Amino acid sequence: MSQGKVWKYGDNVNTDVIFPGRYTYQIMPPEETAKHALEDLDPEFAGSVQPGDVIVAGKNFGCGSSREQAAACLRSAGVQAIVARSFARIYFRNAINLGLAVLQCDEAVDALEKGDAVDIDFAKGKIRSAKGTFRFLPLPESVIGILDAGGLLEYTKKKLAKE
Protein backbone atom coordinates (compact mmCIF):
# COMPACT_ATOMS: atom_id res chain seq x y z
CA MET A 1 0.00 0.00 0.00
CA SER A 2 1.33 3.42 -0.87
CA GLN A 3 -0.03 6.89 -1.31
CA GLY A 4 -0.02 9.09 -4.36
CA LYS A 5 -1.90 11.83 -6.08
CA VAL A 6 -4.25 11.59 -9.02
CA TRP A 7 -3.64 12.69 -12.60
CA LYS A 8 -7.00 12.69 -14.39
CA TYR A 9 -7.60 12.17 -18.13
CA GLY A 10 -10.49 11.26 -20.45
CA ASP A 11 -11.42 8.39 -22.81
CA ASN A 12 -9.25 6.80 -25.51
CA VAL A 13 -5.85 7.98 -24.28
CA ASN A 14 -3.87 6.42 -27.15
CA THR A 15 -0.30 5.10 -27.28
CA ASP A 16 0.78 7.98 -29.51
CA VAL A 17 0.01 10.60 -26.87
CA ILE A 18 1.42 8.38 -24.08
CA PHE A 19 4.68 7.79 -25.91
CA PRO A 20 4.96 9.58 -29.27
CA GLY A 21 5.67 7.54 -32.40
CA ARG A 22 8.63 9.79 -33.24
CA TYR A 23 10.58 8.16 -30.36
CA THR A 24 9.36 4.58 -30.85
CA TYR A 25 12.32 3.35 -32.87
CA GLN A 26 14.96 5.19 -30.86
CA ILE A 27 16.51 2.87 -28.35
CA MET A 28 16.56 4.76 -25.03
CA PRO A 29 17.00 3.72 -21.40
CA PRO A 30 13.78 3.54 -19.32
CA GLU A 31 14.52 6.70 -17.31
CA GLU A 32 14.86 8.56 -20.60
CA THR A 33 11.44 7.33 -21.80
CA ALA A 34 9.90 8.85 -18.63
CA LYS A 35 10.87 12.32 -19.86
CA HIS A 36 8.49 11.89 -22.83
CA ALA A 37 5.60 10.32 -20.90
CA LEU A 38 2.26 11.84 -21.94
CA GLU A 39 4.18 14.52 -23.81
CA ASP A 40 1.46 15.18 -26.40
CA LEU A 41 -1.45 15.03 -23.92
CA ASP A 42 -0.22 16.83 -20.80
CA PRO A 43 3.12 18.67 -21.08
CA GLU A 44 3.05 19.34 -17.29
CA PHE A 45 3.04 15.63 -16.38
CA ALA A 46 6.63 14.49 -16.98
CA GLY A 47 8.14 17.35 -14.96
CA SER A 48 5.80 17.10 -11.95
CA VAL A 49 4.86 13.43 -11.53
CA GLN A 50 5.98 11.89 -8.21
CA PRO A 51 6.69 8.25 -7.39
CA GLY A 52 3.42 6.59 -6.30
CA ASP A 53 1.14 8.84 -8.34
CA VAL A 54 -1.91 7.32 -9.99
CA ILE A 55 -3.41 7.98 -13.42
CA VAL A 56 -7.22 7.94 -13.52
CA ALA A 57 -8.81 7.84 -16.97
CA GLY A 58 -11.90 6.84 -18.92
CA LYS A 59 -12.45 3.97 -21.30
CA ASN A 60 -10.05 2.25 -23.70
CA PHE A 61 -6.82 3.52 -22.13
CA GLY A 62 -3.78 2.65 -24.26
CA CYS A 63 -5.54 2.08 -27.56
CA GLY A 64 -3.48 2.10 -30.76
CA SER A 65 -0.12 0.50 -31.33
CA SER A 66 1.42 -2.39 -29.39
CA ARG A 67 4.57 -0.44 -28.44
CA GLU A 68 5.78 -1.54 -25.01
CA GLN A 69 7.34 1.88 -24.33
CA ALA A 70 3.85 3.31 -23.73
CA ALA A 71 3.68 1.26 -20.54
CA ALA A 72 7.41 1.44 -19.75
CA CYS A 73 7.54 5.25 -19.73
CA LEU A 74 4.75 5.62 -17.13
CA ARG A 75 6.31 2.99 -14.89
CA SER A 76 9.70 4.70 -15.16
CA ALA A 77 8.00 7.99 -14.29
CA GLY A 78 6.96 6.39 -10.99
CA VAL A 79 3.26 5.82 -11.68
CA GLN A 80 2.08 3.05 -9.32
CA ALA A 81 -1.20 2.28 -11.07
CA ILE A 82 -3.59 3.32 -13.81
CA VAL A 83 -7.25 3.25 -12.85
CA ALA A 84 -9.58 3.33 -15.87
CA ARG A 85 -13.00 2.22 -17.04
CA SER A 86 -11.29 -0.11 -19.53
CA PHE A 87 -7.95 -0.75 -21.23
CA ALA A 88 -7.03 -1.69 -24.80
CA ARG A 89 -6.08 -5.36 -24.55
CA ILE A 90 -2.46 -5.32 -25.72
CA TYR A 91 -1.80 -2.30 -23.46
CA PHE A 92 -3.29 -4.21 -20.53
CA ARG A 93 -0.88 -7.11 -21.13
CA ASN A 94 2.15 -4.93 -21.79
CA ALA A 95 1.50 -2.89 -18.61
CA ILE A 96 1.31 -5.94 -16.35
CA ASN A 97 4.26 -7.59 -18.05
CA LEU A 98 6.31 -4.45 -17.42
CA GLY A 99 5.18 -4.21 -13.77
CA LEU A 100 2.60 -1.44 -14.07
CA ALA A 101 -0.74 -2.08 -12.29
CA VAL A 102 -3.86 -1.57 -14.42
CA LEU A 103 -7.12 -1.45 -12.46
CA GLN A 104 -10.71 -1.18 -13.65
CA CYS A 105 -13.11 0.77 -11.43
CA ASP A 106 -15.92 2.97 -12.77
CA GLU A 107 -16.77 4.43 -9.32
CA ALA A 108 -13.22 5.68 -8.75
CA VAL A 109 -13.15 7.22 -12.24
CA ASP A 110 -16.48 8.97 -11.53
CA ALA A 111 -15.36 10.37 -8.16
CA LEU A 112 -11.66 11.16 -8.35
CA GLU A 113 -10.23 14.39 -9.71
CA LYS A 114 -6.76 15.74 -10.40
CA GLY A 115 -4.72 16.21 -7.24
CA ASP A 116 -6.81 13.92 -4.98
CA ALA A 117 -4.71 11.81 -2.61
CA VAL A 118 -5.30 8.06 -2.87
CA ASP A 119 -4.06 4.85 -1.27
CA ILE A 120 -4.23 1.61 -3.18
CA ASP A 121 -4.47 -1.68 -1.33
CA PHE A 122 -3.73 -4.27 -3.97
CA ALA A 123 -4.30 -7.28 -1.75
CA LYS A 124 -7.77 -6.14 -0.65
CA GLY A 125 -8.72 -4.60 -3.99
CA LYS A 126 -9.45 -1.15 -2.55
CA ILE A 127 -8.74 2.42 -3.56
CA ARG A 128 -9.07 4.76 -0.54
CA SER A 129 -9.51 8.51 -0.75
CA ALA A 130 -11.21 11.41 1.05
CA LYS A 131 -14.05 10.94 -1.46
CA GLY A 132 -14.66 7.36 -0.42
CA THR A 133 -13.33 3.85 -0.73
CA PHE A 134 -13.72 2.15 -4.10
CA ARG A 135 -13.49 -1.52 -4.78
CA PHE A 136 -11.78 -2.91 -7.86
CA LEU A 137 -11.79 -6.56 -8.77
CA PRO A 138 -8.60 -7.81 -7.12
CA LEU A 139 -6.05 -8.87 -9.70
CA PRO A 140 -5.52 -12.64 -9.93
CA GLU A 141 -2.68 -14.04 -7.85
CA SER A 142 -0.56 -14.94 -10.87
CA VAL A 143 -0.80 -11.35 -12.13
CA ILE A 144 0.02 -9.90 -8.69
CA GLY A 145 3.10 -12.13 -8.69
CA ILE A 146 4.27 -10.53 -11.95
CA LEU A 147 3.63 -7.01 -10.59
CA ASP A 148 5.41 -7.76 -7.31
CA ALA A 149 8.46 -9.03 -9.16
CA GLY A 150 8.59 -5.77 -11.13
CA GLY A 151 7.48 -7.29 -14.41
CA LEU A 152 7.42 -10.50 -16.39
CA LEU A 153 11.13 -10.55 -17.20
CA GLU A 154 12.15 -10.41 -13.51
CA TYR A 155 9.31 -12.78 -12.53
CA THR A 156 10.41 -15.30 -15.14
CA LYS A 157 14.07 -14.94 -14.18
CA LYS A 158 13.29 -15.75 -10.53
CA LYS A 159 11.05 -18.62 -11.50
CA LEU A 160 13.68 -20.13 -13.77
CA ALA A 161 16.39 -19.67 -11.13
CA LYS A 162 14.31 -21.74 -8.66
CA GLU A 163 13.94 -24.65 -11.05
The bridge status of strand 132-135 relative to strand 81-84 is unpaired
Site for another protein in 93-132 (CB under 8 A): 93-94, 97-98
* Closer residue to another protein, CB minimum distance, 90 or 112: 90
If one asks whether residue 89 binds another protein (CB under 8 A), the answer comes out as yes
Nearest CB to another protein, comparing residues 89 and 114: 89
Sequence-separated (6 or more) residues with CB below 8 Å from residue 79 = 49, 53, 54, 55, 100
The span from the CA of 91 to the CA of 97, in Å, is 10
Determine the Cα–Cα distance for residues 102 and 3; give it in Å rounded to an integer. Answer: 16
Distances (CA, A) of 143 to 24, 41, 153: 27, 29, 13
Residue of the chain from 38, 54, 109, 151 that contacts another protein (CB under 8 A): 151
Of residues 17, 111, 143, 149, which one binds another protein by CB under 8 A? 143
Query: Which of residues 114, 124, 135, 159 is near another protein by CB under 8 A?
Result: 159
Is there binding between residue 18 and another protein (CB under 8 A)? no
Distance (Å, whole) CA 63 – CA 16: 9
How far apart CA 87 and CA 110 sit, in angstroms, is: 16
Q: Is 26 in the site for another protein (CB under 8 A)?
A: no
In the complex with another protein, which residue's Cβ is closer, 45 or 61? Answer: 61
Residues binding another protein (CB under 8 A): 12, 21, 59-60, 63, 66, 68, 86, 88-90, 92-94, 97-98, 140, 142-143, 146, 151-153, 156-157, 159-161
